[in-house]
Amino acid sequence: MYAQMVKSEATQDDPEALAAFQARIDAGEKIEPKEWMPEGYRKTLIRQIGQHAHSEIVGQLPEGNWITRAPTLERKAILLAKVQDEAGHGLYLYCAAETLGVSRDELTEALLAGKMKYSSIFNYPTLTWADIGAVGWLVDGAAIMNQVPLQRTSFGPYSRAMIRICKEESFHQRQGFDIMRKMANGTKAQRHMAQDALNRFWYPSLMMFGPSDKDSVHSAQSMAWKIKMNTNDELRQKFVDQTVPQAEYLGLTVPDPDLRWNAEKGGYDFSEPDWTEFFEVLKGNGPCNAERLAARQKAWDDGAWVRDGLMAHAAKQRSAPIAAE
Ligand code: FAQ
């Protein structure tokens, strides 16, 4: 109890508090919002959780684009449910970030001002129905690879949000694989569409894990704090090892002439994505950056009257006399 008090009153550079905090992380304890934490830990979490939340919300756009054009009623219902799930994931994550003292409005404003990022993958277009299969199979597949370890992340609200999100993500991945299976076993034109989708989404999916470890600025500190559980390259390798046999099962070719099984390391050797393209996309120069941000800006502007109405209602409630018991 006394130790807890000391911690909550500790200044940011107090070496004892920092050591005690690190000891809690190393022991696998969860850090809860009202407990003392280093400012860097709080800021890193806001950045990562906020970016993750924005990704879930922006990630609805490439798939939402296909809801009205899904080939059957069943596919439409499934896609609609998936896109709604992504909205839910965004909301859990915004709530987790809010426990760190930042509001959803502030996070959205930072996104719209270009001060916060969202995943690079959502700056690529979904041109055909097979792309919706590729998004579920590869993009949700990469998201799960990254998010399953995050269920054990050190910050309680983030870890709990991840447990729920991962359950839904596995349904998403399977629905994508099911679309690919149908297309890959369909007509010649459908097989061509499936291969074309894999060709276009393979490297952008590998980029989702972030830059190679040598260029990852946050990994070392984030891993020490268990905000991240693996390096970017470790997860990318696991993703390739899991996905290549799935592509083979579909009868599709991974668009990498240098892809080889390496028995010694027990994994595939593969070509790195084009990192120049990755950093260009991060700078806002991807194929759909402007369109995605314009869609978010429009949603924000269109929703202003709802936010104003809710604030006015809350103010009225606060000033109303308390009803007699
Ligand atoms: N895109 O030092 P690192 C989903 C930035 S959810 C954009 O390695 P870190 C569900 C990074 O922010 C997908 N930016 O960074 C779904 C940093 O810049 P900053 C989202 C990226 O944070 C499916 C700089 O590069 N998932 O898909 C990217 O340690 C289908 C240096 O990089 C998460 O957010 C990128 N790909 O590692 C929804 C998971 N990679 O901030 C709809 C949680 C790196 O200093 C449909 N996040 N950057 O300006 C993480 O695990 C980590 O944040 C990483 C990046 C691994 C993404």
- Give CA separation, 324 vs 234, 314, 317, 320, 321, in Å: 62, 19, 15, 12, 9
Pocket of ligand 1 (CB under 6 A): 47-48, 51-52, 55-56, 59, 86, 117, 119-120, 135, 139-140, 143, 146, 207-211, 216-219, 222, 228, 232, 282
* Confidence (pTM): 0.94
Angle at the Cα of 285 from the Cα atoms of 280 and 291, rounded to 5 degrees:
145
The pair of structure tokens assigned to 84 is: 């709604």
- The H or E element containing residue 268 is strand 267-269
Query: How many angstroms separate the alpha carbon of residue 47 from the centre of ligand 1?
Result: 10
The pair of structure tokens assigned to 14 is: 């107090």
Specify the ligand 1 atom closest to the Cα of 219: 29
Q: How many CB atoms lie within 10 A of CB 182?
A: 16
For 130-189, how does the pLDDT look when each residue is reduced to its tens digit (9 = 90+)? 999 999 999 999 999 999 999 999 999 999 999 999 989 989 999 999 999 999 999 999
- Give CA separation, 50 vs 57, 94, 118, 158, in Å: 11, 7, 8, 11
Q: Give pLDDT, residue 6.
A: 41
In the predicted model, is pLDDT for residue 109 greater than 80? yes
CA distance 59 to 169: 13
For 184-225, how does the pLDDT look when each residue is reduced to its tens digit (9 = 90+)? 999 999 999 999 999 999 999 999 999 999 999 999 999 999
Mean pLDDT (the chain, rounded): 94
Going by the DSSP 8-state scheme, the letter that residue 36 receives in this structure is -
